[in-house]
A and B are shown apart, each in its own frame.
Chain A
Amino acid sequence: MVKGKKEWQKPGFKLFLMTVPLLVMVFLFSYMPLAGWIYAFYDYRAGMKLANCDFVGLKHFISIFNSPVKLHSILRVMKNTLGISMLNIIASPLPMVVAILLNELRSVRYRKTVQTLTTLPHFISWVLVYSVAFSMFSTDGLVNQVLMGLGLTEKGVNFLADPNHTWLKMWGWNMWKVLGWDAIMYLAAIGSVDREQVEAAQIDGAGRWKVIWHVEVPALLPTFFVLLLMSISNIINCGMEQFYVFSNAMNKSSIEVLDLYVYNQGLGSNQIPYATAVGMLKSVISVTLLAMANGMSKTLRGESIF
């Protein structure tokens, strides 16, 4: 610290002043919504002023557990959320497998082409994924045409309106969207595997699979564990857009995940305080899970995720 100069005369303070508008924006869009949690404690209705609403304390929190209807829907929604997240967690080694196999392709050009083509779904929105799904799997989509052409079905089946296997379908669409992209992360990690180790193993007579199993997989495991911990801590955060876009009257009960439920209750049925209360519990649980995941990473690997 240079003595003699006042704090506000230092260049660092000028720099700070230049960024004040940006810091204010962070406050407005990230910190201010926290103040919105207050709505969970009032009998607020859209269009009213908060000052004119009754303070009701924990009423909306208690109602989650006291009202059988609400408890029932919360349990259903939690089942959907955890079910879909679990499917994604179970499939989390897949990108690593894809990356290892991609690395085994001899032609670099072929590998790059595959990489480019398979990352395309990652860059399109869920609305577009739904449009693709519609063109393929709706009553007069391609799949039904093929099935009818083969004489397997007589009438088209609308797979999208069908309430069965919703979790699996949602998992499948998510895989289609992210698999190619997630593999890139591991591919970059394979690139940094120690070449000398691979060559030493080959000289010792290790074949392709042995090299993969004894050299590459161990090198990728740290990346895998970090990503696994992240997805476990995000288990109740499976997003809303995908499920909103794919939902319809038929599959509503099995597709409604926590975020979609909060949206439907808050903006669909206009129960803002109740939806805020549910969302608040969700935020607290996910921050706790994140902290736990970080703590686990610290004890297991000696370094934190963040």
Chain B
Amino acid sequence: MSGKLKGKKKRKPITLTDVILYLVFAVFALICVFPFYYIFINTISDNQLVGRGQISVLPRGIHFNNYVEVMKQRGLGQAAFISVARTVVGTTLTILGSMFLGYAMSRPEYWRHKLWYRYIIVTMYFNAGIIPWFLTMKNLGLTNNFGAYVIPGIVAPFYMILYKTYVESIPASLEESAQLDGAGYLSRFFRIIFPLSKPMFATIAVFTAVGQWNSFNDTLFLIKDSKLFTLQYILYQYLHEAERLAERMRSGQAAMIAERGSTLTSTAIRMTTTIIVVFPVMCVYPFFQKYFTKGIMIGAVKG
């Protein structure tokens, strides 16, 4: 917070409470992060040692072969492509759709403004339920194709409100001068408003991208064609295979399956895929934290 306050606090002696607080938060942070570290060291350690459960704090026998092998697995490269494609295309469409609508809704001269604004906002508070939604998607032909991933999210009411609120904070005079020069709505949006709204753009872009990357339900409901499976869905399949395998191993039926472990074990596939799926999120989110906070604060105010 304020620098004055920081200076004051520093002069106070460190008490036992301070020490305890530091420790408690160290433990909390460790609980949140350690599982990822644990999975990571297991993917780069000797698969034999991993199989015997001997890797828990430090990696041993470091190699990156698992990553090379996993990408060769059937369907995984394709799934990675689909995940990246839906994130890029979906995020672009949502940004264009929701931000332009937010801009349009920030203009009081919008035809029947109140009516249409309510028409959009109301949809945040009711939900027909998953089965009618599924049937609608089916009737619209949005099953078993890429459109099912990117089209339904184009208008996101929440982002629209965020953006509308933001645009309203931009001085109207900036746009008025362009209006006098005869610029239409589209060119005013793209040439004046859009470049001025970088923080909000970043917030919406990252929220949407993370949402697209993480999305699982839409594949589960709408996609039967394995060529369109995402990384999340493939990982889910691996996990449930692994679970079934573990059950069988426990009952002694599948001792041989464990034997082929020398090259690529099911544990290695599962853990390596997990790291591949987490990695992009991990790279992106810390840099955008200040934008996130700003975003949810505006959200909290307008909610």
Contacts and interface: CB of A to CB of B under 8 A. Distances in A.
B53 A106 contact: no
A136 B35 contact: yes
Contacts of A18: 100, 104, 185-186
A306 B158 CA distance: 12
A19 B217 contact: no
Contacts of B151: 25
B36 A120 contact: yes
Nearest to B116: A23
22 contacts: A15-B104, A16-B111, A18-B186, A19-B104, A23-B119, A35-B132, A35-B136, A36-B133, A104-B18, A106-B10, A114-B28, A116-B286, A125-B277, A127-B216, A127-B232, A128-B278, A132-B36, A139-B250, A276-B131, A279-B129, A279-B131, A283-B128
Nearest to B42: A135
B32 A117 contact: yes
B45 to A, nearest CB: 13
Contacts of A131: 39, 235, 239, 270-271, 274
Contacts of A110: 22, 25
A305 B6 CA distance: 35
Interface of B: 1-2, 5-6, 9-10, 14, 17-18, 21-22, 24-26, 28-29, 31-33, 35-36, 38-39, 42, 53, 56, 97, 100-101, 104, 107, 109-113, 116, 119-120, 123, 125-136, 140, 151-152, 154-155, 157, 185-186, 210, 213-217, 220-221, 232-233, 235-236, 239, 242-243, 246-247, 250, 267, 270-271, 274, 277-278, 281-282, 285-286, 289, 292-293, 296-297, 300, 303
A266 B131 contact: yes
A2 B114 CA distance: 18
Contact of B216 (A102, A142, A241, A266): A241
Closest A-B pairs by Cβ, 8 of them? A36-B132, A279-B129, A33-B128, A12-B109, A125-B214, A16-B111, A30-B123, A117-B29
Interface string A10-44: 11111110110011011011111111110100000
A298 to B, nearest CB: 15
Given A19-B104, A184-B296, A287 B126 contact: yes
B17 A208 contact: yes
A101 B97 contact: no
B120 A26 contact: yes
A142 B140 contact: no
Contact of B221 (A105, A119, A267): A267
Tier of interface size on chain A: 35 or more
A13 to B, nearest CB: 4
Interface in A156-206: 158, 160-161, 176, 180, 184-185, 188, 191, 195
B253 to A, nearest CB: 14
Contacts of B232: 125, 127-128
B300 A26 contact: no
A17 to B, nearest CB: 8
A51 interface: no
B243 A263 contact: no
A140 B246 contact: yes
Given A128-B277, A262-B129, A283-B128, A139 B104 contact: no
A145 B50 CA distance: 12
Given A132-B39, A160-B243, A176-B32, A240 B217 contact: yes
B155 A26 contact: yes
A176 B32 CA distance: 7
A251 B286 CA distance: 36
A120 B33 contact: yes
Contacts of B42: 135
B110 A12 contact: yes
Given A119-B289, A132-B274, 7 more contacts: A120-B282, A135-B39, A161-B243, A188-B300, A226-B303, A279-B130, A290-B125
A272 interface: yes
A62 interface: no
Nearest to B236: A127
Contacts of B26: 114
A224 to B, nearest CB: 12
